Structure 1
């Protein structure tokens, strides 16, 4: 298929574009920054550019991964988030409908599911998060605009029948967390594989699966995260004493961590359940906490990318 990939110079794009081409797709990469997989430099907020790309490139499918993200809040005004994340998504959807494209995959975020109360860990138990969580009360302009874009995706699918799949990805960024600095970046990423992270390779593969399944499924929203070992019955103890719960599932985790000078999380305040993606989309992340521990046992390279010097190409 002739696929338009937005955000082609970004972290996901640099893994996704080669995978698409290897699968036999003809990819047009669109990004505001230059990159090896970017064919056209421009913004999704530019409707004439989007219309021209669909006409000139014969676009048959869209993977919309381009966006302003949470770290961009300190660099861009609210209006920029609306222009890119909301209006830009509408531009692509309407162009896809006009071109009679066969499918649309939207890269969303689990961040839009996290209210201020969840973020601050006010509950006495970890919050079990799946696609049924409601009401959704995003805590910042990033989450608000991504949720609005999801709703536009839903509306366009209802009104025009364009197959649309929404992928709410957990964390897969390579840089340091911009708010949690108590642990080293690799230690933090390892911990997050228990309940809120996936590898960028798994994120890219999920988009390939969604591209293939979209016409069959029609519409769907899916959380993407490494398979959690936990079950809903663990939520109270996870909040009060996470190491004890982790030890039940992974008896040698504490020792493996100690050898590296790492710390297990003392408390876990949320758990992303990616079971719906496995059951309906047919996708399950290959890498999780078990694979991280296997790497530690074997003194092998860690299965998550960590680059504290990473800077978004657009910056």
Structure 2
């Protein structure tokens, strides 16, 4: 198929485009920044850009992975989030419907599930989050616009029969956290594989699986995060003494972490459960917390990306023209 991939110059796009080509698809990338897999430079908020891409490249399906993200809150006004994340999604859905498409994949975020109350972690147990969790009360403009875009996807299915899979992805960015610096870098990312992170490679593979499954799913929303080793019964102890729960599941974790100079989390306030995508789509994650420990145990390279110097292509200055 001729696949329109938005966000093709970004972190996910650089991994997703090659996977799509390997699966036999022709990829047409759309992004505001140039990149190796970007053929169309422009914003999804500009309907003319989308219509031209569809007409020029005979687009047959869409993976909408582009958009403004949580760190962009510090750089862009609320209206930009509405223009890109909401209007941009509507432009793509309407173009896909007009073209008679039978599948559409939308990259959403687990962040929209986190209300201020959940963010404050004031309860006496970790919050267990799956596709049935609610009510959805996003705490910032990023979450609000992503949730609005999800609802546009739902309406496109209900009103026009467009098959849509929404993927609420956990964290897979390579840069340091924009709000938390302790524990630092790699240690924090390793910890997050327990409850809220996945590799960018697994994120890309999930999108390909969603593209294949969309006609069978009809409409579906799936959390995409590395399988947690915990059960709901662990929730209270995770909040009180997460390190003890981790050591019970992984007896050598404390020693492996100590040898690296790392710290296990003292408390875990929320857990994302990705069981539905594993059951419904038969999707298997390649990397989980056990894989992180295996790398530590064997002295191997860590199975996730960490690049504190990473800057999104849309934020990089253009090279001077010769």
- TM (norm. structure 2) is 0.97
Matching residue of 2:27 = 27
SS of 2:314 mapped into structure 1: coil
Indicate whether 1:211 and 2:211 are aligned. yes
- Aligned residue pairs total 315
Distance 1:102 1:27 in 2: 17
SS in 2 for 1:287: coil
Tell me which residue corresponds to 2:77: 77
Alignment check: 8 A CA contact 1:128 1:232 kept: yes
Which 5+ residue runs of structure 1 have no aligned equivalent?
none
Q: Distance in 1 between matches of 2:51 and 2:282?
A: 33
Residues in 2 aligned to 1:109 and 1:64: alpha-carbon distance in whole angstroms:
13
Instruction: Tell me, yes or no, if structure 1 residue 94 matches structure 2 residue 94.
Output: yes
Deviation at 1:70, TM superposition (A): 0.3
In 1, distance between residues paired with 2:24 and 2:15?
15
How many Å apart are 1:217 and its aligned residue? Answer: 1.0
Q: Which residue of 2 aligns with 1:134?
A: 134
Secondary structure, aligned partner of 1:202: helix
Does 2:144 match 1:144? yes
How far apart, CA to CA, are the structure 2 residues paired with 1:224 and 1:93? 22
Cα RMSD of the aligned pairs, angstroms, is 0.5
Q: Secondary structure at the match of 1:108?
A: strand
The answer for the alignment partner of 1:278 in structure 2 is: 278
Distance in 2 between residues matched to 1:290 and 1:182, nearest whole Å: 22
Runs of 5+ in structure 2 lacking a partner?
316-322
**1:177 alignment partner in structure 2:** 177
Matches within 5 A, 1:151-230: 151-230=151-230
User: What is the TM-score with the length of structure 1 in the denominator?
Assistant: 0.99
Q: Deviations over 1:163-183 (max 9, x none)?
A: 000000000000000111111
Aligned partners of 2:156 and 2:213: how far apart in 1? Answer: 18
How far did 1:284 drift? 2.4
Tell me which moved more, 282-291 or 193-202: 282-291
Does residue 286 of structure 2 align to residue 294 of structure 1? Answer: no
